[in-house]
């Protein structure tokens, strides 16, 4: 006997799917080529597979209560892996999610950028082109190796959207990290790579307000994409880019960014070192990146800010910027959650 089916209307009818009763919403979306981000394979543990359900949602599960804030729950945010289709549903997805695809590519270059960050330059093979907005990220899948399970991790795209045939990523080594250990110790030039995307809504706004970019470590990646995109599209908007590192050895792309500054008078690059030896030849800023930003912008009420880094860095930057008068809705960041 054929099981009962329900309809799933996406974004006010932009797409409508038919789903067997009892199937998980995540699996229905996947079967229909809609690649909602997920890292746990539908076990309700990672919290990535978020959708908004505006009609027909069942009660929240315990997993959802633990992974979705109360504010988001009031906004109808749900985990698609936890939703068993039991009635017709109306859901909302970010436009970017509807466009996300599976990609396979070949690693063309693997370059050490610092002692714990490598740059990957991947030529896309199937499909051969990607369309994305600078600031978005992809999910990289590491295969099984040395008894370790296949895993999925998010990395911002460092290349500009104009380079449609390639994806550039900055991967930081995480001790015991499954995906980053694979990248550092096993991935070779010429090897096949699988990824999905693009995802995320971190991007430069349409505003002409002066912008403050703040990053640390591999948080460099989205800004490397955004800045090159701005130059190519002739967006002349004042940008002050603060990059926090511990020592000079942790800086990368510095020559490129200094050249970029010479070619683009609207751009300032301010690297700041928090742990550089006092007697070194470093002539630039010293101290915590948040203190350096506060020194440069005691009043940032007329600016917008874009942040990419660890949750700790983002929390501290939010405090500094709001103390400087910046409205919270002018601060953009992506915690990959």
Q: Give yes or no for residue 313 binding another protein (CB under 8 A).
A: yes
What is the rounded (10 degree) CA torsion for 321, 323, 328, 332? 10
Q: Give yes or no for residue 46 binding another protein (CB under 8 A).
A: yes
Stretch that binds another protein, among 45-53, 71-79, 122-130, 158-166 (CB under 8 A): 45-53
Q: For another protein, which residue of 37, 44, 160, 198 counts as binding (CB under 8 A)?
A: 44
**Residues near 54 by Cβ (< 8 Å), separated by ≥ 6?**
76, 90, 91, 92
How far apart are CB 178 and another protein at their closest, in Å?
5
How far apart are CB 245 and another protein at their closest, in Å?
8
336: left (phi over 0), alpha (psi -120 to 50) or beta: left
Stretch that binds another protein, among 29-37, 63-71, 88-96, 259-267 (CB under 8 A): 63-71
Q: Give yes or no for residue 217 binding another protein (CB under 8 A).
A: yes
Q: Which of residues 219-238 bind another protein (CB under 8 A)?
A: 219
Closest to 154 in 3D by CA, of 69, 46, 230, 44: 46
Stretch that binds another protein, among 25-33, 64-72, 82-90, 188-196 (CB under 8 A): 64-72
User: Up-side HSE of residue 64: CA atoms within 13 Å toward CB?
Assistant: 23
Q: For another protein, which residue of 289, 300, 326, 331 counts as binding (CB under 8 A)?
A: 289
Distance (Å) of CA 94 to CA 99, 100, 148, 162, 181:
9, 10, 32, 22, 31
Q: For another protein, which residue of 2, 59, 62, 263 counts as binding (CB under 8 A)?
A: 62
CB nearer to another protein: give 122 or 308: 308
Q: Give yes or no for residue 38 binding another protein (CB under 8 A).
A: no
Q: For another protein, which residue of 7, 165, 264, 274 counts as binding (CB under 8 A)?
A: 274
Cis peptide before 193 (omega within 30 of 0): no
How far out from the chain centre does Cα 209 lie?
A: 23
Tokens matching residue 102? 């599976």
Q: Give yes or no for residue 203 binding another protein (CB under 8 A).
A: no
Contact 171, 177 (CB under 8 A): no
Contact 50, 81 (CB under 8 A): no
Q: Which of residues 242-261 bind another protein (CB under 8 A)?
A: 244, 246
Q: For another protein, which residue of 65, 73, 236, 295 counts as binding (CB under 8 A)?
A: 65
How far apart are CB 219 and another protein at their closest, in Å?
7
Q: Give yes or no for residue 45 binding another protein (CB under 8 A).
A: yes
How far apart are CB 176 and another protein at their closest, in Å?
5
How far apart are CB 88 and another protein at their closest, in Å?
29
Q: Give yes or no for residue 47 binding another protein (CB under 8 A).
A: yes
- Rg (C-alpha) for the chain, rounded Å, is 21
CB nearer to another protein: give 9 or 218: 218
Q: Which of residues 125-184 bind another protein (CB under 8 A)?
A: 147-154, 172, 174-178, 181
Per rule CB under 8 A, count of chain residues that contact another protein: 47
- Beta strand residue intervals within the chain, DSSP E: 5-10, 15-20, 50-55, 77-79, 89-92, 101-112, 117-126, 137-142, 151-156, 166-172, 192-199, 211-216, 239-245, 267-273, 285-286, 304-308, 331-333
Contact 153, 140 (CB under 8 A): yes
CB atoms within 10 A of CB 128: 12
For binding to another protein (CB under 8 A), which residues are involved? 39-41, 44-47, 62-63, 65-67, 147-154, 172, 174-178, 181, 216-219, 244, 246, 274-275, 288-290, 309-313, 316, 335-337
């Amino acid at each position: 006997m054929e099981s009962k089916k329900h309809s799933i209307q996406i974004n006010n009818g932009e797409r409508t799917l038919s789903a067997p009763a009892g199937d998980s919403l995540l699996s229905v979306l996947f079967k229909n080529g809609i690649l909602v981000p997920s890292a746990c394979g539908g076990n309700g543990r990672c919290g990535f597979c978020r959708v908004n359900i505006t009609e027909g949602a069942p009660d929240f599960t315990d997993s959802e209560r633990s992974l979705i804030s109360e504010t988001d729950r009031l906004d109808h945010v749900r985990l698609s892996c936890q939703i068993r289709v039991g009635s017709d549903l109306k859901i909302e997805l970010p436009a970017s999610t509807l466009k996300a695809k599976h990609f396979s590519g070949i690693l063309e270059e693997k370059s050490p950028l610092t002692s714990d960050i490598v740059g990957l330059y991947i030529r896309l093979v199937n499909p051969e082109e990607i369309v994305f907005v600078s600031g978005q990220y992809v999910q990289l899948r590491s295969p099984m190796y040395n008894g370790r399970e296949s895993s999925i991790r998010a990395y911002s795209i460092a290349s500009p959207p104009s380079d449609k045939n390639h994806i550039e990523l900055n991967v930081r080594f995480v001790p015991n990290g499954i995906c980053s250990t694979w990248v550092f110790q096993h991935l070779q030039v010429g090897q096949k790579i699988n990824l999905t995307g693009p995802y995320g809504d971190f991007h430069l706004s349409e505003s002409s307000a002066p912008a403050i970019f703040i990053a640390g470590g591999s948080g460099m990646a989205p800004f490397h994409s955004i800045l090159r995109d701005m130059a190519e599209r002739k967006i002349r908007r004042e940008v002050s880019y603060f990059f926090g590192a511990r020592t000079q050895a942790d800086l990368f792309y510095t020559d490129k960014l200094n050249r970029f500054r010479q070619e683009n008078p609207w751009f300032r690059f301010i690297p700041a070192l928090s742990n550089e030896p006092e007697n070194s030849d470093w002539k630039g800023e010293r101290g915590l990146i948040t203190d350096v930003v506060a020194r440069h912008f005691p009043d940032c009420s007329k600016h917008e800010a874009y942040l990419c880094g660890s949750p700790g860095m983002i929390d501290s930057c939010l405090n500094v910027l709001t103390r400087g008068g910046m409205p919270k809705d002018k601060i953009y960041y992506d915690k990959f959650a």
